[in-house]
Structure 1
């Protein structure tokens, strides 16, 4: 199928030390992205949605939790559950 002179696994030619550094580094980057999505981003989304409106702290925390749940599931929150809106 292929020539015997060519190695089919070029990643094996790299030094082990480089792979040993890249794997944990990729894990740290992945955790940083998840931390941003589930800790920082929901508060920004809620603040943008409220547009400076005065809301009780409990209501804001519930809204942030709803955004986190929506991010985890991959859905947008229902229109009636957003702050300041009522269901028809």
Structure 2
């Protein structure tokens, strides 16, 4: 990230900003920059179903890293879909 002074923002500064603004929204819940990144990756994968694009956006050199973290979502999606199916009794 780049600051208004065109300098790199430190990791600590990003952590402090996330803590500050998430505290304003929900003071009872702690959120880390990593959790925000993970939530973004999850939302992106759920919307696109494109693991290669998600890997590229998140900067993963190896798509297997992305698959390891987001492959479980496929199972969740399948489970949700099967739960929506209702079987009818034969007349």
TM-score, with length taken from structure 1? 0.30
CA radius of gyration, larger in: 1
Choose between structure 1 and 2 for higher RCO, CA contacts under 8 A separated by at least 6 residues: 1
**TM-score computed with the length of structure 2 as normaliser:** 0.29
